[in-house]
Every structure is written in structure tokens, then in C-alpha cells.
Structure 1
Amino acid sequence: MPENKTTSEEARQGRRGFPVLMVLVFGLLLAAVVWWGVEVYGLMLDEEQAIELPAAEDGPTG
């Protein structure tokens, strides 16, 4: 039976390194930009709403 001499580096399914790190960093930055955009949009909506609501009438209807 022939011996298969495979090094541990060759046996790995994938390699870790700079490209994987860059994908993770850019994904995190993209999530932060989207979060910031939603926060700004939410603040704009909050300022457009009325501060005081009309008083409710406590009485029977009809």
C-alpha cells in the first residue's frame, strides 16, 4: 500500500489569512454604516411627530 505523505498545510480545507480578515472587517464596517443610517432616519422621524397629542374625551359616546 503506498504511503500518502501529505503535510498539514496541504491537508487543510481552506486557508486563513488577509482576504478572510478583510471580508470580516468590511462586513463589520458596512453593518456600522447601515446602523448609523437607520439611527439618523429614526431621529428624523421622531422630530417630525407631534409633541402633544389631543386630549381624549372621557365620556360615553353616543
Structure 2
Amino acid sequence: MPETNRKTTPQDARQGRRGFPVLMVLVFGLLLAALVWWGVEVYGLMLDDQQAIEMPAAQDEPAS
């Protein structure tokens, strides 16, 4: 690879100068995780109301 005598400016050396800012990606990721969590909670509550409650048989019958 040929060597160049070009000096690197601070603007060229800086990373992340284009694209989404990292903070926005983190905020949207957190909001998406909260939305998914809420959906799972609602789904779990709907399932809980639909399940029949099974009670164990009474064990207090007198012995014969």
C-alpha cells in the first residue's frame, strides 16, 4: 500500500460523524423493549383469566 503524506484532520479522525446518533439508537431500543414487555404482560394477563382453576380434592374426609 503506498504511503501518502496527507495529514489527518480532527474531523477525519473522528468516528461516528454520519448516521444515527448512538443516543437515539439506545432510546429507541429501550422503547421497543418496553413495548414488547408490555405486550407480553397483557398477553399473560389474558391467558391467566382464561385458565380454569383446579382445586385439589379435599383431604379432610373421615377415615372408615
Q: Do the two structures share a fold, i.e. TM-score over 0.5? A: yes
Counterpart position of 1:6: 8
- With 29-38 and 9-18 compared, the bigger mean Cα shift is at 9-18
The structure with the greater share of residues assigned to helix is: 1
Shift of 1:2: 5.5
Q: Distance in 2 between matches of 1:36 and 1:54?
A: 33
Shift of 1:17: 8.1
- With 4-13 and 38-47 compared, the bigger mean Cα shift is at 4-13
| Alignment match of 2:47 (pick from 21, 45, 48) | 45
Question: SS state of the match for residue 54, structure 2?
Answer: coil
Q: Percent identity?
A: 80
Structure 2 residue runs of 5 or longer lacking an equivalent are: 58-64
Q: Distance in 1 between matches of 2:17 and 2:7?
A: 19
**1:10-58 deviations in whole A, cap 9, x for unaligned?**
0234337863322221121111011001001101111211223353xxx
Letter of the 1:37 partner, please give it.
G
Counterpart position of 1:23: 25
For normalisation by structure 1, the TM-score amounts to 0.60
Counterpart position of 1:32: 34
